[in-house]
Amino acid sequence: MIPKKHIIDRFISYVTIDTESDPNSDTTPSSMKQWDLANKLVEELKSIGLEEVTIDENAYIMATLPSNVTHDVPTIGFISHFDTTPDFTGANVNPQIIESYDGKDIVLNKENNIVLSPDYFEDLKLYKGQTLITTDGTTLLGADDKAGIAEIISAMEYLIQHPEIKHGKIRIGFTPDEEIGRGAHKFNVKKFGAEWAYTMDGSQIGELEYENFNAAGAVVTVKGKIVHPGYAKGKMINSMYIAQDFINSLPRLETPEHTSDREGFFHLHNMTGEVEETKLEYIIRDHDKKHFEARKEMMIKLTSELNKQYGKDTVTTVINDQYYNMREKVEPVMHIVDIAEEAMKALGITPLIKPIRGGTDGSQLSYMGLPCPNIFAGGHNFHGRYEYVPVESMIKATEVIVKIAELTANR
């Protein structure tokens, strides 16, 4: 059994370090403060006894737990990211520990009346009687994905302390900038040297995922003309009104708040505008590749139609693919999912095999030659003030890593 206080202390030591990534930066890592945790992790990996601990010029960390068996065993890996989302502040995180959760409302911040309630967040009811780590209502927590890091390191430490558990060579990797879609961009798959890996980046206990969205980002720029409003008749072109036409022409119910499971969407996540220019930033998501391509084509066709109406080059749309559904790369090697499923069942965990409504480093790594399903890390309500993680889920995730290593060596 992994000591409860040990994993709590480890996790809190990570989340109290601000590692927010910056989508407007062109460096890797995108924010210098990510180095603070990266360097700490390197020293910790060395201190627990891992070998070949390296960190490169872009803050990608790798390390090795050598095999303790004489027969050939596939080299496997476990991967997590240490940045947090720029969508909500990760500075000055002040975790709260709720012992023996009573199933009722948790007041995160009395002064600002911020309450984590099972009436709204129903998953809380699953964890009555357990120990929860929450925010203080003013920041995110950072369980995405510092819980994954704590679990991987704790599992490696446990295997080192228990040599009676047989395992092959294990590689671990920690990456920057996953939250801005760049976590795998400079990951050296050849250097990592694993036949397959698992990202510890899922949510609820039991989650096991090997398919995710196909993803693209779109920037729509609308040009207008500014004229004194008193003399604007027939002359002014207000870009914001044309942008509104663009927004309203996309299917209103195909947005994140109206979709679930494998249903795709258009998500307008940022907009800025003045009369002369308005910019819309979208993400496009769909599990089905044909539907994904159709969504992109819909935006291009809409752009063309608005240009016919308002004039050439009034609207421009630039679309860039971000990542693809990993299912195509994992299905040929489904035994790697079977091992994870078997590990969970052996530990009394009911596997929840479902599609990811998002992306992970694993989706990009799978297309780079490293098949990489995703396993739960235990956290809930990522990217906001209501984020929390049950400690018992973190312990179970750690045990799943240990069991996967053991099963892989015994197959």
**Catalytic residue positions, numbered:** 83, 178
Per the CB < 8 A criterion, the answer to whether 340 and 375 are in contact is yes
Neighbouring C-alpha atoms within 13 Å toward the C-beta of 2: 30
> At 376, which helix (H) or strand (E)?
strand 374-376
DSSP assignment string, 149-171: HHHHHHHHHHHHH-TTS----EE
The one-letter amino acid at 175: T
Q: Which residue has the tokens 């480093």?
A: 361
β-pairing, 315-323 with 96-98? unpaired
Structure tokens at 363: 């989706």
CA dist 278 and 119 (Å) reads 39
Closest CA to 195 of 71, 340, 332, 372: 372
Residue 235: exposed, middle, or buried by beta-carbon count in 10 A (0-12, 13-18, 19+)?
A: exposed
Residue 68: exposed, middle, or buried by beta-carbon count in 10 A (0-12, 13-18, 19+)?
A: middle
Structure tokens at 51: 């070998």
The DSSP 8-state label assigned to residue 122 in this structure reads: G
Per the CB < 8 A criterion, the answer to whether 299 and 319 are in contact is yes
- Per-residue three-class SS string for 178-199: HHHCCCCCCCCHHHHCCCEEEE
9: which residues sit within 8 A by CB, 6+ positions away?
none
The DSSP 8-state label assigned to residue 206 in this structure reads: T
CA dist 184 and 366 (Å) reads 10
Closest CA to 267 of 242, 284, 247, 244: 284
